[in-house]
Amino acid sequence: MTDADSPWLIVGLGNPGPEYAANRHNVGFMVADLLAGRVGGRFKAHKARAQVVEGRIGAPGPSSRRVVVAKPLSFMNLSGGPTTALRDFYKVPVSNIIAVHDELDIDYGALRLKLGGGDNGHNGLKSITKSLGADYHRVRFGIGRPPGRMPVADFVLKDFSSAERKELDYFVDRAADAVEALVLEGLERAQSTYNT
């Protein structure tokens, strides 16, 4: 199986449980939920301690791509275990893995797509990189910096503000579009369209 035939593994990062569902740190789960709806699937429990949806994106035919959309059920700082187990189960090359995550150093709603790099203090990325190495794709969803002296941990575990929520659906939709473009068109074309 070549990389072109292999499925893509799209991992939305977040924390499980209703108390975290609307947190800034859970924007990866929000994007994964939207992508699952687009491929027409419902999340099912997987033995890799994750919820998964399998499907295809792109127009029907040879150009469509098989995808596995996943939400790890470990907490954020243990995301590497489920991601590695899913990679092994679905036989996905690391170059076909996309982590969708919140990013403090980017303005709210802005996106940056990249391959490889550091974890920038993000515990979910730190865990995945420890398990897989750094050569996976990232779709970084900007959440901005905390106001004043608010600790980062408090900021990421708070819900989006009412002002932010007005635009959140639009930004999550755009992030899902960016993931699809990355899978179907490649990194450079997706970056030229979606990097802001």
Going residue by residue through the chain (196 aa), what tens digit of pLDDT does each one get? 445 578 999 999 999 999 999 999 999 999 999 999 999 889 999 999 999 999 999 888 888 899 999 999 999 999 999 999 999 999 999 999 999 999 999 999 999 999 999 988 899 999 999 999 999 999 999 999 998 899 999 999 999 999 999 999 999 999 999 999 999 999 999 999 999 7
Residue 182, Cβ neighbours under 10 Å: how many? Answer: 24
Secondary structure of the chain in the HEC alphabet?
CCCCCCCEEEEECCCCCHHHCCEHHHHHHHHHHHHHHHCCCCCEEECCCEEEEEEEECCCCCCCEEEEEEEECCCHHHCHHHHHHHHHHHCCCHHHEEEEEEECCCCCCCEEEEECCCCCCCHHHHHHHHHHCCCCEEEEEECCCCCCCCCHHHHHCCECCHHHHHHHHHHHHHHHHHHHHHHHHCHHHHHHHHCC
**CA angle at 17 for the pair 128 and 150, rounded to the nearest 5°:** 75
Q: Is 25 a catalytic site residue?
A: yes
Q: Which of 25, 101, 122, 137 is catalytic?
A: 25
CA distance from start to end of the chain: 35
pTM for the model stands at: 0.95
